[in-house]
Amino acid sequence: MTPLESNQTKFIDLRNQYPVFHFDTFKYQIKENDIQIQFFYHINEIKFEPKINVRFGKFLCHSLSHDNLEGLIFNIGLIELISYWKCVASPIVMIHPYTLNADQQKWWKKLYFKGLGEYFYQNSIVSTLNDFLNFQFDLDAKSYELLSFESIQNSKRVIVPIGGGKDSVVTLEHFLQNQHDVIPFIINPRGATLDCARVAGFENEHDIFIIHREIDPLLIQLNKKGYLNGHTPFSAMLAFYTTLVGYLTNTREIALSNEASANESTIPGTDINHQYSKSIEFELDFQEYVKKYMNDCIHYYSFLRPLSELEIAEKFAQYKSYHPVFKSCNAGSKENKWCCNCPKCLFAYIILSPYLSSEELVNIFGEDLLNKPSLNTYFEELTGIADVKPFECVGTIEEVNQAIHYILPQQKDKYLIQNYIKKNKL
């Protein structure tokens, strides 16, 4: 995928026009079944007021400390703000609720910069870690207190975020089959996430810990008007939300489903990685942040990190009851379908093909994606024939090629495989 036209001039102009992004404050209200959170940001005359609804389901376990909640929500506000900052890329981020020490500022700047690597690349913007933004604080602002809560040391209780794809299913099934007390967690439920939870035995939404995020509609309006836009580190946001869930449920263990392939750069030879906040680099950074500034309150890790995409696919292939309901397609997520026209659909098809028959795959996806000429560009990006991988959560080039070599004898009559044979002179 090639970058868009250069927005360097727009980047500079917007930074001059909007020199300071303000994180003004936040508020929250604890109710019987949920917590309602709202953040307040502004840039000049532009105001953003996104809302978050945290639904406990059956899982609220103890009385809540306002000090602990404020510390957790403040950190969530720091990761939420990047989605709004990116539209104008202000050189100064003015944080009003609390201050950050020098080490925290360095930590957040690294997350923002690396998490926005795709944003800078796709917009053809050149900047540096030192220059892209700096923090300022109110003179009378205080440091937020080190969070004092301690979670239950129960190795059999675990929070498992459900994304609706094959990866979280493998993690979920592992813990269920090993008699763990699983708390299923979903952000912005959709068909596939709820369906996977249901197949796992969580029939009612009351059995799931759910967070609803509402993007301020003004951001979408600004995007349509031509303000800067691009990918932000969603999985880093997930990390901070799972920490909140850990506190609310007295649960220490948080098992993500980020695989080893997330460590591979999207642009070879660079640090630009669509999956940066799924990488082991971010995972270790986040673990260190939790130890230093959150009283080591949770254990956040990826259960799938030791596994390759092929190993995950082989495990998932055994879970037949999930095959009709899982989805890994962003384009079709609103309609709960495989769009069959994007790199994520093609990758999922390829990586499962060594372990499922063509008939099973067509039943899942609705058509034979290996016989679809319109997907050839994505196919060449996934296999490394093209210079750049797709900016999607897909496996490594080596894993994709390995999967294709497994199926070559049976699938050599398919259009994409025939082209692969020609390009690689096999």
Q: Tens digit of pLDDT for each residue in 240-255?
A: 999 999 999 989 999 9
User: What's the pLDDT at 267?
Assistant: 80
pLDDT interval class at 386 (50, 70, 90): confident
Mean pLDDT of 304-323: 96
Q: Annotate 70-81 with b (16+ C-beta within 10 A) or e (fewer).
A: bbbbbbbbbbbb
Mean pLDDT of 88-107: 96
147: Cα within 13 Å, side-chain hemisphere: 28
Alpha helix (H) ranges present in 116-253? Answer: 117-122, 166-177, 191-199, 217-224, 234-249
Mean pLDDT of 56-79: 87
Complete DSSP assignment for 307-347: S-HHHHHHHHHT-GGGTTT----STTGGGTS--SSSHHHHH
User: What's the pLDDT at 207?
Assistant: 95
Contact 257, 304 (CB under 8 A): yes
Q: For residue 150, what are its two tokens?
A: 């301690």
Name which of 308, 241, 231 is nearest 276 in CA terms.
231
Mean pLDDT of 264-293: 88
Look up residue 147 and give its DSSP letter.
P
The H or E element containing residue 212 is strand 209-214
Strands 253-256 and 92-95 turn out to be unpaired
Instruction: Please state, in angstroms and rounded to a whole number, the distance separating the CA atoms of residues 20 and 32.
Output: 38
For the chain, give the mean pLDDT. Answer: 92
Mean pLDDT of 204-209: 94
pLDDT interval class at 152 (50, 70, 90): low
Q: Per-domain residue ranges for the chain?
A: 8-148+209-302, 336-423
- The contacts found for 22-28 with CB under 8 angstroms, 24 or more apart, are 22/94, 22/96, 23/77, 23/78, 23/81, 23/93, 23/94, 23/95, 23/96, 23/97, 24/96, 24/97, 25/96, 25/97, 26/73, 26/74, 26/77, 26/97, 28/69, 28/73
Say which residue, 294 or 150, is predicted with more confidence: 294
Q: What is the 3-state secondary structure (H, E, C) of 387-419?
A: CCCCCCCCCCHHHHHHHHHHHHHHHCCCHHHHH
User: What's the pLDDT at 265?
Assistant: 75
- Is the C-alpha dihedral spanning 327, 331, 337, 340 positive or negative? negative
Q: Tens digit of pLDDT for each residue in 212-222?
A: 999 999 999 99
Instruction: Please state, in angstroms and rounded to a whole number, the distance separating the CA atoms of residues 140 and 145.
Output: 15
* C-beta neighbour count of 188 within 10 angstroms: 12
The H or E element containing residue 46 is strand 46-48
pTM of the model: 0.94
User: What's the pLDDT at 125?
Assistant: 94
User: What's the pLDDT at 363?
Assistant: 97
User: What's the pLDDT at 324?
Assistant: 96
> What is the distance, to the nearest Å, from the Cα of residue 43 to the centroid of all Cα atoms in its chain?
26
Mean pLDDT of 25-40: 94
Mean pLDDT of 363-370: 96
